Amino acid sequence: MEGLKIPQIVSQSGLNPREYSSGGRQRLGSISKQGNPMMRSLLVEAGHTAARLIQRDLQPDM
């Protein structure tokens, strides 16, 4: 069994940007929010936690 790929996770969680296309031009908007709200919330919370831990690890010891 093969695991999920990053594009699949992004798409299923609704974190992919909306796309507006016209006349050969492509513009990406805000996230679509079409996926599972709980999964999206957990991924955002994990990102906040990771950012906080990285920031804490980069601060010099006192």
Beta strands in 1-62 (DSSP E): 17-22, 25-31
Alpha carbon distance 57, 35 (integer Å): 33
Residue 2 domain-assigned?
no
Question: What are the mean pLDDT values of the chain's consecutive 10-residue runs (62 residues total)?
Answer: 74 80 87 80 89 86 64
pLDDT of residue 1: 44
Q: Which domain holds residue 14?
A: 10-58
What is the domain count for the chain?
A: 1
Query: What CA–CA distance (Å, rounded) separates 43 from 35?
Result: 12
Q: Are 35 and 42 in contact (CB under 8 A)?
A: no
Do the domain assignments include residue 4?
no
Residue 1 falls inside a structural domain: no
Domain membership flag for residue 35? yes
